Every structure is written in structure tokens, then in C-alpha cells.
């Protein structure tokens, strides 16, 4: 598969102009630290109000809300697994996060989507284990959903960016 539909960048996911950004949320969907807190702050109070109505989200699943003050029309919230040694189904759950996000692309006519590095921050999923899972699932979903024009992976720092690029171009 060609990689022309996958773009890796370093930066702030809240400033990306795409149809949907993915929020690495917690189970409550009510905001938190890291990318979750940044998205809630940038989107404004409407996001929190809608998330209260949506209810929580199970690990590995996803829910969608409006983007409010973000450049993205939609926010897809997914809850990644907390790393507990890799013996509690963390890899399967992380893969499900990406699959769950893609199920919204057709009904919401999402052509461009931006992902953070799910679970590799506060949830301590090892980057070297998470990146191959993320890229494999994104590639698999791009084959399943040809209507998606571009997937961006927005990395929060240079080591994350370098790891994604290294894994993407080594396959």
C-alpha cells in the first residue's frame, strides 16, 4: 500500500484543519490532561456539555461530538488502554480504538481525520509497541474505507514523530 494518504506531523492537534480530530479521552469523556484537556479547552464549553449528554465511553470504543470552536467539524473520542504490562489485552484494545474511530467516516462524510498517539502519554503504552499497532490499523482501515482522503498522525513531540516516521517507512 502506498503511504500517500498518511501524513505524520509534529504539532498541536487542536489547530489542525481536518473534518475530524481524534481525542485520546478518558472513560468519562469530561476532559483531563494531555491531548484530552487541550481539545476541551480549545473547543470551548459546548464540547463538555455535549460530552455530558453523550455519557461515558468504554476502553477501545469511540463516540463522536461536534467540534465547536475547533477547526475540525467533529471530535471522535476514543479511550485507549492503560498499559499494565501488556498481559491484559492492551494491544487488542489499542487496535480497537483506531477501528472504532473509522466507523464514523462514512455516516459523517469524514474525508480527513487526525489522530494523536493514543495511550502513549499518561497511559504509558510503550511507544515502540503502540506505533506498529496504530499504523497497521490505520492502513487496514484506509483499505476498508477508500472514501478517506487523508489520515494525519499529529505527534506531540519529536521522539514520537521520529518513531512514527521510522515505523511507517520501514515497512
pLDDT band at 171 (very low <50, low <70, confident <90, very high): low
Beta strands in the chain (DSSP E): 6-10, 20-25, 62-66, 74-79, 112-115, 150-155
Sequence-distant (6+) residues with CB within 8 A of 68 are: 43, 44, 46, 47
Average pLDDT, the chain: 95
Give the model's pLDDT for residue 170: 83
Q: Residue 63 and residue 61: Cα distance in Å, rounded?
A: 7
Strands 6-10 and 150-155: parallel
Judged against a pLDDT cut of 70, whether residue 1 lies above it is answered with no
3-state secondary structure of 75: strand
pLDDT band at 7 (very low <50, low <70, confident <90, very high): very high
* Residue range 81-110, pLDDT digits in tens: 999 999 999 999 999 999 999 999 999 999
3-state secondary structure of 8: strand
Task: Kindly state the cell numbers that stand for 139.
Answer: 492502513
Q: What number of CA atoms fall less than 13 Å from residue 137's CA on the CB side?
A: 23
Q: Residue 94 and residue 2: Cα distance in Å, rounded?
A: 23
Q: Residue 124 and residue 33: Cα distance in Å, rounded?
A: 13
Q: Domains of the chain: which residue ranges?
A: 6-170
Q: Residue 21 and residue 67: Cα distance in Å, rounded?
A: 8
- The CATH number assigned to the domain with range 6-170 reads 3.40.220.10
* Residue range 12-58, pLDDT digits in tens: 999 999 999 999 999 999 998 889 999 999 999 999 999 999 999 99
- Whether 36 sits among the annotated catalytic residues: the reply is yes
Given 12, 36, 128, 149, which residue is catalytic?
36
Amino acid at each position: 500500500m502506498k503511504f500517500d494518504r498518511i501524513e505524520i506531523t509534529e504539532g498541536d492537534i487542536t489547530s489542525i484543519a481536518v473534518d475530524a480530530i481524534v481525542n485520546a479521552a478518558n472513560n468519562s469523556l469530561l476532559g483531563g490532561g494531555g491531548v484530552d484537556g487541550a481539545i476541551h479547552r480549545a473547543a470551548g464549553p459546548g464540547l463538555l456539555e455535549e460530552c455530558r449528554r453523550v455519557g461515558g465511553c468504554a476502553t477501545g470504543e469511540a463516540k463522536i461530538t461536534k467540534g465547536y470552536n475547533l477547526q475540525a467539524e467533529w471530535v471522535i473520542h476514543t479511550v485507549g488502554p492503560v498499559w499494565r504490562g501488556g498481559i491484559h489485552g492492551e494491544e487488542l484494545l489499542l487496535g480497537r480504538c483506531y477501528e472504532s474511530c473509522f466507523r464514523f467516516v462514512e455516516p459523517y462524510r469524514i474525508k480527513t481525520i487526525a489522530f494523536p498517539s493514543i495511550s502513549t502519554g499518561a497511559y504509558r503504552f510503550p511507544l515502540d509497541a503502540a506505533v506498529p499497532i496504530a499504523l497497521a490499523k490505520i492502513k487496514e482501515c484506509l483499505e476498508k474505507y477508500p472514501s478517506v482522503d487523508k489520515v494525519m498522525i499529529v505527534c506531540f513531540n519529536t521522539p514520537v514523530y521520529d518513531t512514527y516516521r521510522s515505523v511507517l517507512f520501514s515497512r
